[in-house]
Amino acid sequence: MNVYADFQSRLAAMLEKRVAAGELLRDLDLDRFVVEPPRDAAHGDLSTNAAMVYAREIKLAGSTPRAFAESLSADLAREPDVLKIEVAGPGFINIVLKPEVYQQVLRTILVEGERYGAGPRSKSGPVNVEYVSANPTGPMHVGHARGAVFGDALANLLQFSGRDAVREYYINDAGAQVDVLARSAFLRYREALGEDVGPIPDGLYPGDYLKAVGETMAREFGPALREKPEPQWLPLARKRATDAMMAMIRDDLAALHIEHEVFASERELTGADGGVDRVREAIEALRAKGFVYEGRLPPPKGAPSDDWEDREQTLFRSTEFGDDVDRPLIKSDGGYTYFAGDIAYHKTKIDRGFLTLVDVWGADHGGYVKRMQAAVAALSDNRARLDIRLCQLVRLMRGGEPVKMSKRSGDFVTLREVVDEVGADAVRFIMLMRKNDAPLDFDLAKVIEQSQDNPVFYVQYAHARVRSVLRQGQAAFPDFDLAPSAFAGADLALLTDDGERDLMRALAQYPRTVLQAAEAHEPHRVAFFAHELATRFHAHWNRGKDLRSLRFVNENNGKLSYARLSLVTAVGLVLASALSILGVSAPEEMR
RNA sequence: GGCUCCGUAGCUCAGUUGGAUAGAGCAGCCGCCUUCUAAGCGGCAGGUCGCAGGUUCGAGUCCUGCCGGAGUCGCCA
């Protein structure tokens, strides 16, 4: 039940009738107006700009927005659930609803439970959400966490809003750096065989996490590989090292409650190990459409680069789709560029039937957005839409001081360390409280603080407080059935206090918030909603300190207590629902 | 130099896809605990929404140009 969407369609019907009656132009775009909660509660429960957005059409029909608003209000006033209506300013229509509407909202929440606000199954088809996609060359560090949490919450949000969402991870296991990884693992293999390898040379990965790979290889091969030439052991070491790294990364992600359904290997797409060369197929598909050619690029402008070599190469005509220059697909050594592999990967998404694609990248990849969108447009003949969400950097702090992250390898802070220290809930919620394209300070000291400075705690506490109140209510009235569905018999008309109304208004906005957050691909809106609802709940709870009569549980008034406990239950259900979209737990108590 | 993102209270950030008098939290000041967990709540004060134009009934939001910051700029991923 979405009050705003409900009135939106009723108004649309009224406008259509006027069009049919010849009062307005024929092809009126009925999506242009909105019905929204006014910023100022004094303006009522609903507000619409319908009379103003069609000002031009209204003028043509010989009226004014204000007069048109008056006339629309007359129609709206006849709606059974409208209590009061008035035209304000240049033509806003403000609607005050009968209390029964909010009582109905409450009943809906109690019946639907955590499904309240969830969208009906969408007809827009499945969404593909690709996120994390970190190189399999070591453990995840905190920088990866933001995109990981963002992508995961976005997928949750899309699913809640009715889309099918598939979570994918693209494994960058084809480039030179995985060869470096393999050599690093081979060194650890020799070490595991008892050889003194000394300090790890520059250019190899020094992390201890490769020791286990070396030991596994020593057990598997014994000394057999040691004297072989590199071309013989490299593929073996690469396979074992990348497999081990992916297992480690999946473990790190699991600690954040993140699980992908599809892992796509770049190396597999290139056909390097004998499979079909999907990259070549993708390039040929683009060539067939006329978007691939052999040509030369102008040298980069600005800072002159020493190693610029003018040469003819295979180029994708991304400028056709708004990119600045065309982009190379084949490197000078004959291998595919990263971009070429990514094109092939995105082609598999399109081939699998996805027309809505979301990629979550670090902000340092911002320069690749246009070419990737160009490739998706070219591959799908403009049918697929690729939204790329860039996540800004995370600055790790402790008590206001930046945590030093030396470039010296092995000295970075791993994701696992942070999760072990502050917990998955804190990491997830903080990362989601900020818009993804704004930088974020993550303070290790603050996020475990139990105070209102810490939004994780604040929101979880609101939920715990709900549960506590319900326990108190049960203690005071042992006969009460506090199962959500049992509240059908509660007399909700008893909920007349401003604070209670305020809470119900907030609850009524949840479906709208979720819908908008899903459409905008902005899970942080759900986090802000949860925080806002928590604020209202804490505020109302506190009024019960001054005025005993406002407390949820009144020992000498069972009917009233029961009605209020139904409201408390609804608040708890919606908080739990929002938290579950964010992937954060809703605790029973905070101790 | 090109492109992308950002610029809102002293600080950290929201801002309902163009709506009404721009909102929270922190920090500051003033109040509220014989408690449904004060791990909280209320109040006061705080603003040329970077600057200048433009679009229209209406701009923090859209367009153009500047200023300032971050990222990025063929063969890294």
A266: the nucleotide nearest its CA (via C1') is: B77
Name the residue closest to the C1' of B27 by its CA.
A453
Over residues A380-389, mean pLDDT: 94
- Answer for the pair A277, A271: CB distance below 8 angstroms, yes or no: yes
- Concatenate the DSSP letters of all residues of A405-435 into one string: --SSTT-SPBHHHHHHHH-HHHHHHHHHHS-
* Nearest alpha carbon to residue A359 among A581, A521, A160: A521
At residue A28, the pLDDT reads 79
What is the structure's pLDDT at A64?
A: 86
Place of tokens 């009522």: A44
* A231-262 pLDDT tens trace: 999 999 999 999 999 999 999 999 999 999 99
pLDDT at A303: 54
Look at residue A586 and give its three-state secondary structure: coil
User: What's the rounded Cα separation, in Å, for the pair A72 and A69?
Assistant: 5
Q: Is the CB of A458 under 7 A from strand B?
A: yes
Asked if A573 and A114 touch (Cβ cutoff 8 Å), the reply is yes
Q: Calculate the average pLDDT of chain A.
A: 90
A321 touches strand B (CB under 7 A): no
pLDDT above 70: percentage of residues in chain A? 97
DSSP conformation letters of A497-534: SHHHHHHHHHHHHHHHHHHHHHHHT-THHHHHHHHHHH
Share of chain A above pLDDT 90, in %: 66
- Rounded alpha-carbon distances, angstroms, from residue A104 to A95, A112, A268, A570: 17, 12, 54, 12
What band does A18 get if pLDDT is binned at 50, 70 and 90? Answer: confident
**What's the mean pLDDT in A91-99?**
93
With cut-offs at 50, 70 and 90, classify the pLDDT of residue A412: low
Whether pLDDT at A407 is above 50: no
Indicate yes or no: strand B within 7 A of the C-beta of A276.
no
Nucleotides of B under 7 A from a protein CB: 1-6, 12-17, 19-27, 32, 35-42, 56-58, 70-77
In terms of Cα–Cα distance, which of A546, A568, A555, A575 is closest to A495? Answer: A568
Say if CB A279 and CB A340 are below 8 A apart: yes
* pLDDT tens per residue across span A30-86: 888 999 998 888 888 999 999 999 888 888 888 888 899 999 999 999 999 999 999
User: What's the alpha-carbon Rg for chain A, to the nearest Å?
Assistant: 29
| Interatomic CA–C1' length for residue A4 and nucleotide B31, angstroms | 39
Closest nucleotide C1' to the C-alpha of A532: B24
Please answer whether residues A510 and A532 qualify as being in contact, where contact means their C-beta atoms are separated by less than 8 angstroms. Answer: no
Confidence of residue A304 (pLDDT cuts 50, 70, 90): low
Distance A179 CA to B43 C1' (A): 64
- Reported as a pLDDT band with limits 50, 70 and 90, residue A3 is very high
Higher pLDDT, A104 or A411: A104
Q: How confident is the model at residue A408 (pLDDT cuts 50, 70, 90)?
A: very low
Per-residue model confidence (pLDDT) at position A456: 87
Residue A246 corresponds to which amino acid? M
Of the listed ranges A243-252, A324-333, A568-577, the one predicted with least confidence: A324-333
Which A residues 91-120 have CB within 7 Å of strand B?
Answer: 91-92, 94
Interface confidence (ipTM) of the complex: 0.93
Which of the four pLDDT bands, split at 50, 70 and 90, describes residue A175?
confident
How far apart (Å, rounded) are the C-alpha atoms in residues A352 and A350? 5
Residue A298 makes CB contacts below 8 A (sequence gap 6+) with: A325
Distances (CA, A) of A254 to A116, A129, A247, A413, A460: 28, 17, 10, 18, 21
Q: Decide if pLDDT at A285 tops 70.
A: yes
Nearest nucleotide, C1' to the C-alpha of A93?
B20
Query: What is the phi-psi region of residue A564: left when phi exceeds 0, alpha when psi lies from -120 to 50, beta otherwise?
Result: alpha
CA of A510 to C1' of B46 (A): 32
Domains and CATH numbers, chain A: 3-97 (3.30.1360.70), 176-248 (no CATH), 396-428+440-448 (no CATH), 451-582 (1.10.730.10)
Q: Which nucleotide is nearest to A56 (CA to C1')?
A: B57
Six token digits for residue A82 = 């409208």
pLDDT at A488 over 90: no
Any residues with CB less than 8 A from the CB of A335 and at least 6 apart, and which?
A: none
- What is residue A251's predicted lDDT score, i.e. its pLDDT? 95
Give the residue whose CA sits closest to B72 at C1'. A367
Q: Report the SS3 class of residue A36.
A: strand
Residues 6 or more apart whose Cβ sits within 8 Å of residue A566: A106, A110, A487, A490, A492
Asked if residue A88 keeps its beta carbon closer than 7 A to nucleic acid strand B, the reply is: yes
